[in-house]
Structure 1
């Protein structure tokens, strides 16, 4: 029943994405990270949170979700605080100036990077090698997403932007790679220590969260298209295609674990 409900919500989510693209194309919605667009992205994070909770149980799933949300939201908030004199008010939904939209985006994103990297490395028998390669792949995917999202988010925050990667701060990209590495290492250690790494409770939902991940990518590619950020678009699409192909090549039928 949970799997059917999750898949039904996914179809609603896909329909919502297509409607959002249509309304933006017709200039009903602005091609920026506005409040209406933020609501869609918050739903992406809810999908990611539900995935973690369903696969690893309420306690562990909530712990992983809160860890991702708290850390990434704090980083985004600090970035905005450092540029407070330049930042505009349009950064999606905020609570006391804290950009919660970005926290939800990262929950959905990391749910996708986690499952893709996990599948690629699942058959490795050496624990430390598996964990290291898993974290490196995931961190690289996070870095690539940052390359795509940075110009769009800078536009939403009303910060100075010229034409794509030329204005990206390389230190920010490196910092997000490091953060992605640390977060995924923590996830790996948590799941390994609790014997949850090897099996998912609902393995048939693996590809569903990959679809959610790609919808998030497609959403920011769509917004980047309106700003002519072709370098970011090409890097984001090509790199994610490579990782996703590796995911499907590595895809293995897992035995469904007992939810209890």
Structure 2
């Protein structure tokens, strides 16, 4: 028995692991549904440079994007030529397959009528809550659950990383996606949510989650977004997922 306990105490995985998740909106774009602007391209490069400076001892960075052009371009520019930055597509960070073309067209028209202001459109979507706008479009809660699933997957994975690992994840998503998750993780009412937090998520803005896993069973997660900073748990994410 003593030999078994000694072997287990020398487990090489899941101890003293640190992960930073930056869940962000893509860089500045041209128009409601357009590509990155030149300013957005420059800012994406700057985001990647800032990440390298802030975390010089990182063992690696995984940049995940929705697969939509402006998010993918943002991810590629954040990575640059750095081979320690790995680029991956994750559909649950975007709207493909979640929001119907007809609904996107309707939203685009409404945004154009409001001179490009997306705030009211996103707020209305949030307040739909559990209901679907149409049969091919996910509800606000379903979109939130998709993001929570991706984040929880990364947190669980930290238990399989080598001891003393330090890893960064950048998840590049979209306004109109991020807010659905934020309202749930912040445990706020959907009505009036965007006004309460100061508006929709800005370009290259988002939430940061600092994860520290001491061992297989002991993990702490600090969530930061704007003026909000507090601890969350894996159960908080599971509650969002199971709500649907």
TM range (shorter): 0.3 to 0.5
Instruction: Return the index of the structure with the highest Cα Rg.
Output: 2
Structure (1 or 2) with the greater helix fraction:
1
Structure (1 or 2) with the greater strand fraction:
2
